[in-house]
Structure 1
Amino acid sequence: MVKYLIITYYIEVKLLDLSILLMSIGIFLIIISFFFKNSSKKIEQDVEELSISIFQETNNLKRRLKIVEEELLLEPEFQVKSKSSIPPKGQDPKVHQVMQAVQQAAQSSKVGQTTAPAKPIHQIIISQVLELNKQGLSVADISIRSNLTEEQVRQVIANGGR
């Protein structure tokens, strides 16, 4: 019986030591966890910034696409020709093709406008010219993008769209 009590006491002491050891390790780990930064907040912030930038880029592309669509609707003889040159680095070939076609249409419309009588300028084109002017584009660039002569662009800017 004494042997049994000694063995039981020895087991209880070892279990007590083991529980104290486990508890001290747990407390130590809790204290260490306070010193580590929470990386999930940084990841959440990065994802939020990324989603905002994607949203802004999407809106910017939609706005540009709307301008191109308006130009296409105003030019009924508009035809996209095959690629005549390689697009610049970083630019989508389709975008390059559309830009070339718009520039060709602008040049052809300028040739036609020199002999044709002056037509009233559509309000969409006027607002586009004013917006491009606000963005700091030159009169020549605005003329190409809006299919107007440089003189017409100057008149629209001078009149403020009236």
Structure 2
Amino acid sequence: MDLSIILMIIGILLIIVSFFVKNSSKKVEQDLEELSISIFQETNNLKRRLKIVEEELLLEPEFQVKSPSAQNNAVPDPKVQQVMHAVQQAAQTSKAGQTALKAKPIHQIIISQVLELNKQGLSVADISLRSNLTEEQVRQVIANGGQ
């Protein structure tokens, strides 16, 4: 036989075999997509939890984490130390965020929200908590009437 006929038969056989072999790349793509979705969901959950912690820290400005060794002279768990350290860092960043809020201009949507809450009769402290502005900024917005 001729070499070209042998190569042609091998090529046709390989094409036929390729129809019966399952494509594993689709499974890999599906696994990758599921992994990315789960990572996205975990990230969103962590962001939501961090936001809740930040809001709690904003409500309690004098919040201090006391070490367990000072309370009962026991050796603290390393995980507890890590959590305490993370909470202290979050408190510091929230204080830094509050000072950064003073420097930023106030968005028009927040201004209208502050004015609407004031019309509803809420106190300056309540408006401050709901709008993430300082009480001084809330008073300025109300005094200026949104200007």
| Structure number with larger C-alpha Rg | 1
The TM-score normalised by the length of structure 1 is 0.45
Normalising by the residue count of structure 2, what TM-score does the alignment of the two structures yield? 0.49
